[in-house]
Amino acid sequence: MILTLIFSVLVTFGLDWLCMILSGGTIHGLINGYELPGIIVILAGLIFLSGCGKDFCRIFRGSSSLQKHDLAELRRTEKSLDFANRAVFYICLFFILIGGIFFYLNIDFRTSLGPNLATILGSLLYMSFLISIFITLKAKLRTKIISVMAQEVPEAGTNKTTRPAKAIITS
């Protein structure tokens, strides 16, 4: 999982860097010094205050430790990733709205238009960046869930009648 996270971060930062360089900007425009850490701190606070902290941190463990968990724990981890996606969306939407309000209020002052527009566009960039990472992690977690479901064997005490594979396909 860590390797998947590192690859997704490298690909996203690489694409952002390439777009920044090709448009004539510098690499310093990629990271806003206050907004990205603010989004991450607010996201971490929301995740731990909602009670999803333990389940969310489980995704950053190795693949072998995810195999040890049962299906219910993996489903809770998937729900915590869904919550993180929604939280990032709403946090960035809040920053976009605040930037838009200040952009509208300070439309007469040219010196304040750049930072307000940078807040709006930076929030969109960070939202797409973080959500793409969470989607990558969720896809990897979903494959783990499928492999756990495939390994589950029905108990011997159940009264299910098993049909041969040919009968299942034809019915």
pLDDT in tens, 111-168: 777 777 878 888 888 888 889 888 888 888 888 888 877 876 555 555 555 555 555 5
- Give the model's pLDDT for residue 83: 92
**DSSP single-letter state for residue 140:** H
- Give the model's pLDDT for residue 82: 92
Q: Are 30 and 17 in contact (CB under 8 A)?
A: yes
- Give the model's pLDDT for residue 170: 54
Q: How confident is the model at residue 25 (pLDDT cuts 50, 70, 90)?
A: low
pLDDT in tens, 57-100: 888 776 666 667 778 888 888 899 999 999 999 999 998 898 88
**DSSP single-letter state for residue 160:** P
> Would you call 51 helix, strand, or coil by DSSP?
coil
- Give the model's pLDDT for residue 9: 72
Rounded to two decimals, what is the model's pTM? 0.69
Q: Are 27 and 20 in contact (CB under 8 A)?
A: yes
